[in-house]
Amino acid sequence: MARWEPDAQARLQNAALELVARQGFERTTAAEIAEAVGLNRRTFFRHFPDKRDVFFAGQDQIEADLVAGVTGAPPGESPMGLVGLALARAADTFAHLPREQARARQAIIDAEPALLERERQKFAVLARSVGDAMRERGVADLEATLAAESGVLVFKTAFTQWLADGESRSLPLIIAETMAALRALYVTR
Amino acid sequence: MARWEPDAQARLQNAALELVARQGFERTTAAEIAEAVGLNRRTFFRHFPDKRDVFFAGQDQIEADLVAGVTGAPPGESPMGLVGLALARAADTFAHLPREQARARQAIIDAEPALLERERQKFAVLARSVGDAMRERGVADLEATLAAESGVLVFKTAFTQWLADGESRSLPLIIAETMAALRALYVTR
């Protein structure tokens, strides 16, 4: 086994999905996940600070995408324009995410309070980072918070729809339609 | 000490605020909080299922208010109209909440990950309950989710502003202004 493991992280994530789906989160140890792909416990914790993180590695990419969408926007863009660009950037990265695997992951998260808690924490961090990126562009504090939280709400709601049984629309399309539905709620009344 | 303790819950909450502010959340036991007001550990757990809940008893009232605002609305009200009525109802109950005590409570929550986690969970439950109340009125699933989450976002953001140093506006006024700021984000663009 080579010492340098370029895809160790992805292999650990796949093994975790499979083992936890079969035997539950509590009963699956980090050592066991690592062993399933020929690695050891220490290597696991080099990639994931705690056992829950193996299901959330993708969130760092979402965060980077959303923030890049805000920081890379042309000057003078409105707060909701920034949200639109942030979501478009994130949607692009996830356009090719395998839906079946994402469903398996979400089923595991929904069944385990410790994972649901981590998911909520990650979304809170996401909203905070996007809001900070907006404040750095000079968006007022309140508007930045509301716009960033709205953006994360749209992403979260769109992602849930994308995972639903029988859903065939792409994530980018669902994000755009969810954003339009949210806007319509405000514009109508 | 009378066996019937009509205000036991409030006394336990006050004692918890004081003890935890002084010695931290981890180092304060439920038994100690109970003892401080002449009650025992069992009585504490009759009022609060776990030690964290002593800081969140008010959330049940917020939930009841928000839901009552939705269920009591006149027929044909739009989703955002329902949100407005739900928030107005909650704001009314909290119009006389003592700000200093609420600040002390929030400082404790912000300093303790286990309490922050519980707070996020409570807000998630709030959004779910308000959304369910809307769905029962016939609001479509996606619109109910987006409107309810927006309402909770407004409440959360307004509450944070209300707690800020030097803030003197009432909570109902801040809620109304935050709602207007959110709407303006969508209407402007």
**Nearest CB to A185; choose among B143, B181, B185:** B143
Same domain membership, residue A63 and residue A18: no
Same domain membership, residue B152 and residue B99: yes
Same domain membership, residue A92 and residue A169: yes
Same domain membership, residue A103 and residue A47: no
pLDDT tens for B148-160 read: 999 999 999 999 9
Indicate if the pLDDT at residue B1 is higher than 50: no
Task: Tell me the nearest-neighbour CA distance from B31 into chain A, angstroms.
Answer: 26
The answer to whether position B1 is within a domain reads no
Q: How far is CA A93 from CA A83, A122, B1, in A?
A: 16, 18, 64
pLDDT tens for A49-107 read: 999 999 998 888 899 999 999 999 999 999 999 999 999 999 888 878 889 999 999 99
**Nearest CB to B153; choose among A143, A146, A188:** A146
List the one residue out of B69, B71, B93 whose CA is nearest residue B83: B69
List the one residue out of A12, A90, A89, A94 whose CA is nearest residue A55: A12
Say yes or no for a CB contact (<8 Å) between B150 and A145. Answer: no
With bands split at pLDDT 50, 70 and 90, how would you rate the model's confidence at A6?
A: low
Distance CA A54, CA A3 (A): 21
A147–chain B Cβ distance below 8 A for any pair: yes
The answer to whether position B165 is within a domain reads yes
User: Best of A117, A139, A159 to disrupt the B interface by mutation (most B CBs within 10 Å)?
Assistant: A117
Say yes or no for a CB contact (<8 Å) between B146 and A181. Answer: yes
Say yes or no for a CB contact (<8 Å) between A182 and B120. Answer: no
* Range 80-99 of A in CB contact (< 8 A) with B: 80-81
Same domain membership, residue A81 and residue A127: yes
User: Best of B52, B109, B117 to disrupt the A interface by mutation (most A CBs within 10 Å)?
Assistant: B117
Indicate if the pLDDT at residue B182 is higher than 90: yes
Same domain membership, residue B65 and residue B38: no
The answer to whether position B3 is within a domain reads no
**pLDDT value at position A93?**
83
Q: Which residues of B52-82 are buried (b: 16+ CB within 10 A; e: fewer)?
A: bbbbbeebeebbebbbbbbeebeeebebbbb
The answer to whether position A60 is within a domain reads yes
Same domain membership, residue A168 and residue A75: yes
Structural domain tally of chain A? Answer: 2
**pLDDT value at position A5?**
59
Same domain membership, residue A83 and residue A140: yes
**pLDDT value at position A28?**
95
The answer to whether position A46 is within a domain reads yes
Q: Supply the ipTM of this predicted assembly.
A: 0.87
Q: What is the mean pLDDT of residues B85-106?
A: 90
Domain containing B30: what range? 8-53
